[in-house]
A and B are shown apart, each in its own frame.
Chain A
C-alpha cells in the first residue's frame, strides 16, 4: 500500500491532469466563446497545480499571475466588451473544414505522442530546487540568459507601442480606409451624433 503522501500526490495528479485535458478539449470544442475563455482559465490553473506538484512553487505562482490574472482576464474583458449577439451565417463547407482541422490535430497528436515515446527521458528528473529557485532564476536571467531576457522586454515594448498606435486612431489626419480628412477630436462624431439637435419651430 502506498504511503499517505504518495496516495495524495497520485489523486491530485489525476485530478489536475483530467482538468487540463477535459478543460482544453472544452476550450476548443465549446461553441460558446465565454465558456471557452473561462475554461481556459481553469486549464491555466490546473497547469499551475502541476508545477506546484513538481515543487516549482515560484513558477506556479508566476503562471497564475501572468496567465490567469493577466492574459485570461484580458481575453474575458475583450470578449465582454464586444459582446454582440450576432447571428453568424454558416460558412460554406463546414463539414469539410471540421474534417480537415480534426485531421491536422490528430496528426499533431500522433507526432507529439511519437516524440514522447521515442525520447529517452532521464527519469527521475533533476532534483527540484524548491525555494532556492527564485535566486537561481535571477542569476540565470542576468548571466547566461541576459540577451533573450532583454530581447523579450524589447519585443513586449514593441507590441505595446504597436497596440497604442492601433488603438489611438485619432492621431491620423486621414481615414485609412476612405482617405477622407478626419476630425482630430472624435472620429465617430459625424456618423453617430450623441445628442439629437433640437429643431426650433
Chain B
C-alpha cells in the first residue's frame, strides 16, 4: 500500500473527540486502550471460533456430528463452555500454595496475549510496529514455562509437578530450533519487524512467499510451534492417559479457563505467525497492484484502499485458520510421542537441521542475493 494512506483511525478518533470539546491529551488517553481492547476481543473471538472448529472437525474425523443444539450448527457451544467455567466453583486445594496457585495461570496467559502486539493484519493494521518484532514473541513465549512450573509446583500433586516439569523441558528444547528457523527468515528480510517480513514476500504474490524459499524452515517452525502450544502429537505435559491432566489437574473454574484460553490463543497466534513468516501475511496470491492494473484502477484510489485493507484481514485470518484446521487434523491422525522421543527429536534432529538450514540460507543469500534478500 502507498504511504499516503487515508485510513488513519487514530487521528480521526482524536479529532472527533477534540471537536466534542476535549483536550488533545485526554482524547489521546482515551484512544490508547482502544486498539488493545480490540485485539483482546479479536483474540477471544478467535478462540471461540477455534473451539467450535475443534469440536466440529474432531467430530467429523470420528464420524460423529458434534455439537448441534446450541445455536445453528452448535456455534454457541463455546459460549456455553465458557459460561459453565465462569459459574463453576473456584477451588484451591487445602495443601496447595494459594498465592503461586493463583499466579500460575496468569503468568501463562499474559505473555500470550501480549504477543498479539506484533501480529499485522495489514500494512498499518497492527498495534505496534516495534523494531524487535518477532524477537519479542520469542522472548515473551519463553516466560510461559515459568507459569507452568509455578502451577505444577503449587498444586502439591505429583501429576501436576510432572506435567509442569515436562512442559518446561519441552518448551526449552523446542524454543531453540524455533528461534533458528525464525532467524533464517529474518536473515532474508534483513529486519525483525513483522511488517518488513511480509513486505519482503509481497513482490510476486504466491510465488514470492517464504514457504518456497524456506521449505525446511517452514516445517521446523510448524513442528516447534505445535510443540510450544502443547498440541498433539506433543501434548505430553497434559497427557491424559499418563498424567491425568498434567499441571491443570487441580484447577477448576476460571483458573482452568485461563489455561484453556491461553492454549487456544497460543494456537491461533502460532498459526498467525506461520502466516506472517512463511505464507505472505496479508498478501493475496496475486498482488493487489497487478489486480488493480487489470481493472485500470490506481493503487492510491480510496475505494481500492478500503478493499485492500479488508482483503488483508480476510487473507490473514483465512491462512491462519487453514493452519488451525491442519493442526486439528494432525491431532486425530498422529499418535503422541514419548517424552524421550520428544527430547531426542528436538535436540538431536531438529536443532542440527535448523542450524544446517540457517547455514544454507546464509550461503544462498550470498550466492543469489536477488532471490534470498540482498
Asked if A and B bind, the verdict is yes
A59 to B, closest residue via Cβ: B132
Q: How many A-B residue pairs have CB under 8 A?
A: 79
- Contact yes or no, B143 A69, CB < 8 A: yes
Q: What residues on B are CB-neighbors of A65 within 8 Å?
A: 135, 138-139, 142
Provide the bound-state CA to CA distance between A115 and B150, in Å.
38
Q: Say which residue of A4, A57, A81 sits within 8 Å of B130 (CB atoms).
A: A57
CB-defined contacts of A77 to chain B, threshold 8 Å:
149, 165, 168-169
Q: Are B149 and A61 in touch, CB under 8 angstroms?
A: no
Given contacts A57-B132, A58-B132, A134-B131, contact A76 B140 (CB under 8 A): no
A113 on the interface (CB 8 Å rule)? no
Is A73 within 8 A of B145, CB to CB?
yes
Interface membership of chain A positions 80-97, coded 1 if the CB is closer than 8 angstroms to chain B and 0 otherwise: 110100000000000000
Per DSSP, are chain B's interface residues mostly helix, strand or loop, or mixed? helix
Contact A64/B140 with A4-B25, A80-B161, A80-B165 known, Cβ cut-off 8 Å: yes
Nearest opposing residue in chain A for B111, CB measure: A64
**CB neighbours of B193 from chain A (8 A):** 131
Q: How far is the CB of B180 from chain A (nearest CB, A)?
A: 13
Q: C-beta contact mask, A118-144 vs B, less than 8 Å → 1, else 0?
A: 000000000000111110000000000
- CB within 8 Å for A64 and B169 given contacts A4-B29, A34-B153, A58-B135: no
Task: Name the CB-closest residue of A to B148.
Answer: A73
Cβ B153 vs Cβ A41 within 8 A: no
Cβ contacts B165-196/A at 8 Å (1 or 0 each):
10011011001000000000000000011000
B100: Cβ under 8 A from any A Cβ? yes
A→B interface (CB under 8 Å): 3-4, 34, 38, 41, 45, 57-58, 61-62, 64-65, 68-70, 72-74, 76-77, 80-81, 83, 130-134
Query: Can you pick out 14 interface pairs between chain A and chain B where the beta carbons lie within 8 Å of each other?
Result: A38-B150, A57-B130, A58-B132, A61-B132, A64-B142, A64-B143, A65-B138, A69-B142, A70-B142, A72-B146, A73-B168, A73-B172, A76-B153, A77-B169
